[in-house]
Structure 1
Amino acid sequence: MISPKTPDNEQQRLEAVHSYGLLDTLPEEEFDDITSLIAGICEAPISLITLLDAERNFLKSHYGLPFNESSRDISFCGHAILEPEPLFIIEDARLDPRFEDNPLVIENKAVFYAGAPLRTEDGLSLGTLCIFDTKPRVLSKKQKKIIIAMAKQVVKLFELQKKNIALKNTRDTLQKRNRELKEFAGIVSHDLKSPLANITALARLLKEEYGPNFDATGNQYIDYIEESSLTLKTYIDGMLKYYKSDELLAKEKVYVSLSAIYEEIEDILFIDNAEFKHPEDDITIFVNQPALVQIFINLVGNSLKYNRSSVPSVTTTFAENDSYYIFSVQDNGIGIDAKKQEGIFQLFKTTGEKDRNGHIGTGIGLATVLNIVSKLGGMISLESELGIGTTFTFTIKK
């Protein structure tokens, strides 16, 4: 017996083999289907998909054998990967000095072998798609062609596996960074709230105690300090809501009365002479209630804030189809310029318009709405006309 030589590019070859993440993995249907098919077409009792590791021949798929690895020193595949031809054939191993006293030949009656190297685009041989038989054989041209073609398909499956690993690693990295960003935002936001509150309180105290001693400009500066502190507080509160919105999505769906949701929104947001019109039918829906309430709080809250009508009015509607709940929120507010509508859901993107209290928004509320709606399997859109009002329509997957 002659053990197979080590390829000149062995280090690069081994790195390639390990990069696919297939060593020591369980059988998979797509690979087993190929070995079963090849065994049937070639009328062979054994068909394998192998990966040559440093010291062993790992059998990713092993049709006709009870074991999934063997020593590389006695492997036929170790010889096959050294050959430049697309198919390495031993018609009778008992007559070949490389295999005549090989344990696979003596103990397992491996007489006939045909193996197609599994080569990457860089020419690195990972292993083989091969068949064994217990008697001498001659393959037809058709059988040879099919083995070679299916070997290429095996490599394509390997590449797909590699891409899946890369995608999983990228996803895991993004999830980790997202968690870290949320933790960072939470810590920073929490740590900033206390000194901000102190700044606001000190500005008010300074104005109350020493305001009469300041001229108009000095008092204006104090007002600027207080206003800037309140604006920053609004940003911090908005960021906390944005990053905590994913926590709402973890809540279980429940059966809830739609009227109860509207009543909750009315209790939270509606004061003075504002009108809130909503369906009166007692409809029960199966939803993530806290997430839906948060969507309404943001949309209805904006409808009231960005509204200069003597009687601010908000109207909501509800419909459904086989797959989605469909909601809308319509107002008689100031409207949104058509040029600014496209980016309105982007984080920190604002229209630049002041609300009823003279404040400019943070651009966080609608980004939070989009985040929640998207993760609930829905979509959101808007129609708006300056001076007339805005209608937001969103869906939630049932």
Structure 2
Amino acid sequence: MQQKQITFNEKLRRAALAQYAIFKSGPDKDYDQLTFLAAEICEVPVAKINIIGKEEVWNKSVYGTKVYSVPRNNSFCEESINSGKEILILNKPQNPKIFARAEGIYDKDYQFFAGVPLFNKQGYAIAVFSVFDTRPRELKPNQIESLKALANQSMKLFEARRQTIKLHHVQRSLKQKYRELEKFASLVSHDIKSPLANIISLTELLKAENENKFNEETKEYLNFLVDSSYSLRNYVDGILSFYRSDHILEKDYEDVDLRELLKGVVDLYAISEDIVIHYPKEGKLHNVNKAALTQVFMNLISNSLKYNKKDLRKVEFRFRESDRYYHFEVEDNGDGIPPEKIEKAFELFTTLEVNDRYGNPGTGIGLATVKKHIENMQGKIEVESTPGKGSNFKFRIKRL
């Protein structure tokens, strides 16, 4: 009965070890520093961080020797994890049988061993932090405590590694789910946009062919149908754009001339004589996500021009830099945002319930996309606005 319990525990121990993905892993300076300190503090020639596998003891870090694997059976580490002690200290004169069983396993005739088992939170021994010497010796009390402390730090590194692995698994899972969601959104948008295009074209055709047959009320209904179809199409395009925007965040970072970037963005719009744009005198940005920043300015400029019913539309860009951030302002003389709606302006699918200068309603997606990009660039955005006078969008992104 006892043997079955031991076998069951060993399976659980190996399952716990697998969570760390550390057995036969690559070199790591963090562990090497710990074994170096252990050897120096304990004044011994050899220190190891020993990972206990199924049939072998593999050394994650070694100081003072080049042997990276020994058989588990009859090893000092096997004795250590089975001892039930917080630290197992062995000298050959006092423990001749243990050293006799271990004869031939190691590369040197060790006569001293001290090992601290490393247990996970469930109590399973993952590894042993150990020091060796070729002559019998004793450890001072401060050396014993130091060895325990170093062993504890080693286990914390193991746990940090395990958490990182879990995080990577979660990230991969989320990316897969996001790809599936994006594919779904793309398919849905296509399935919605196709009939919408038919509705729009057929309605326009119906209006044209029956221009003199329909009364004003019927014509108004048809116009409403067309306008609603266009609004729904814009809404679908906005949703798809929002979900695809994460791809922009994966673009490479590069140096950017701000004036050139802004002029390139403005050139995308039909700038007429009733529009005045003021650019910052200079601005050199280093190591920024140009694609994401371009998308931010495109949305802000588009809003500044669309939600402005004045005869002369103005947009002014400002820029400054501090030790940690690049700071930007996009100020316009547009319609402005009511104070009670400013807080919700950046929420996804939240509209201000107003139409732009062309009579089109908003989708509530543009500013949400802006906020997402800025926050992913470790920044923040806020807006100061006065209805009828204009808005000033102020944001910053982290300097890298």
TM-score normalized with structure 2 length? 0.85
CA distance, structure 1, for counterparts of residue 105 and residue 254 of structure 2 = 63
Task: Tell me how far apart the structure 2 counterparts of residues 10 and 182 of structure 1 sit (CA, whole Å).
Answer: 44
1:22 maps to what in 2? 22
Aligned to 1:380: 381
Question: What count of residue pairs does the alignment treat as equivalent?
Answer: 392
Match of residue 79 from structure 2: 79
Displacement of 1:82 in angstroms is 1.2
Secondary structure in 1 aligned to 2:165?
helix
In structure 2, relative to structure 1, the CA distance for the partners of 1:269 and 1:391 (3 Å cut) is farther
- Residue correspondence of structure 1 range 279-290 to structure 2 within 5 A: 279=279, 281=281, 283=282, 285-286=284-285
Q: Give me the whole-angstrom Cα distance separating, in 2, the residues matched to 1:62 and 1:6.
A: 29
Partner of 1:82, secondary structure, is: helix
- Verify: 1:278 aligned to 2:278, yes or no: yes
Partners of 2:341 and 2:166 in 1: CA distance: 38
Specify the SS of the correspondent of 2:22: coil
- Cα distance change of structure 1 residues 154 and 247 upon mapping to structure 2, 3 Å threshold: closer
Unaligned runs of at least 5 residues, structure 2: none
| 8 Å CA contact 1:74, 1:104 repeated in 2 | no
Of 74-83 and 165-174, more deviation after overlay is shown by 165-174
1:329 Cα deviation from its structure 2 partner: 2.1
Give the residue type in structure 2 aligned to 1:10: E
Q: Tell me how large the CA RMSD over aligned residues is.
A: 3.1
Equivalent position of 2:362 in the other structure? 361
Which position in structure 2 is the counterpart of 1:43? 43
Structure 1 residues 200, 13: CA separation in 2 closer, same or farther (over 3 Å shift)?
same
Give the drift of 1:54. 1.0
Please tell me the residue identity of whatever aligns with 1:65. T
- Pair 1:305-2:306 in alignment: yes
Shift of 1:78: 0.9
Conserved 8 A contact 2:238-2:366: yes
**Matches of 2:100 and 2:252, distance apart in 1:** 68
1:211, CA displacement in angstroms? 6.1
Q: Any idea what the Cα deviations from partners look like across 1:48-95, whole Å, max 9, x if unmatched?
A: 111111111111112122121111113111121112221112211685
Name 1:151's counterpart in structure 2. 151
Which is worse superposed, 287-296 or 355-364? 287-296
Once the two structures are TM-superposed, the CA of residue 227 in structure 1 deviates from its matched residue by 2.1
Measured in 1, the distance between the counterparts of 2:143 and 2:268 equals: 77
Answer yes or no: is 1:222 the counterpart of 2:228. no
The CA deviation at 1:359 is 2.8
Number of the residue aligned with 2:124:
124
Determine if contact 1:380/1:394 at 8 Å carries over to the other structure: yes
Alpha-carbon deviation of 1:126? Answer: 1.4
Report the more deviating stretch, 258-267 or 222-231. 258-267
Tell me the residue number matched to 2:57. Answer: 57
Comparing 214-223 and 17-26, the one that deviates more: 214-223
Partner amino acid for 2:355?
A: K
1:91 & 1:193 partners in 2: Cα distance? 80
C-alpha separation in 1, matches of 2:96 and 2:42: 22
Corresponding residue number in structure 1 for 2:337: 336
Matched residues in 2 for 1:172 and 1:130: separation?
Answer: 36
- Aligned AA (1:19): Q
Q: In the aligned structure 2, how far is the partner of 1:374 from the partner of 1:119? A: 39
Shift of 1:224: 3.5
* Percentage of matched positions with identical amino acids: 36
State the alpha-carbon separation in 2 of the partners of residues 260 and 276 from structure 1.
17
Q: Distance in 2 between matches of 1:93 and 1:231?
A: 89
Q: What is the rounded CA distance, in whole Å, between the counterparts of 1:267 and 1:131 in structure 2?
A: 68
Distance (whole Å) between structure 2 residues aligned to residue 157 and residue 106 of structure 1: 26
Q: Which amino acid aligns with 1:99?
A: F
1:231 is displaced (CA, Å) by: 0.8
Seen in structure 2, the aligned counterparts of structure 1 residues 7 and 90 have a Cα distance that, compared at 3 Å, is farther
- Residues of 2 paired with 1:64 and 1:91: CA distance? 19
Deviation at 1:23, TM superposition (A): 0.6
Inter-partner Cα distance in structure 2 for 1:100 and 1:145: 28
Shift of 1:340: 2.0
The residue matched to 1:268 in structure 2 has which SS?
coil
The range that moved more, 257-266 or 230-239, is 257-266
Distance in 2 of aligned mates of 1:34 and 1:322: 35
Query: Displacement, 1:18?
Result: 1.2
In terms of mean alpha carbon deviation, does 191-200 or 11-20 score higher? 191-200
Q: For residue 233 of structure 1, give the secondary structure of its aligned residue in structure 2.
A: helix
Q: CA deviation at 1:390?
A: 0.9
How far residue 234 of structure 1 moved from its aligned partner, in angstroms, is 0.7
- How does 1:139-288 map onto structure 2 within 5 Å? 139-210=139-210, 218-246=218-246, 250=251, 253=254, 256=257, 258=259, 261-262=262-263, 265=266, 268-271=269-272, 274-279=274-279, 281=281, 283=282, 285-286=284-285
Single out whichever of 231-240 and 15-24 deviates more from structure 2.
231-240
| Structure 1 equivalent of residue 66 of structure 2 | 66
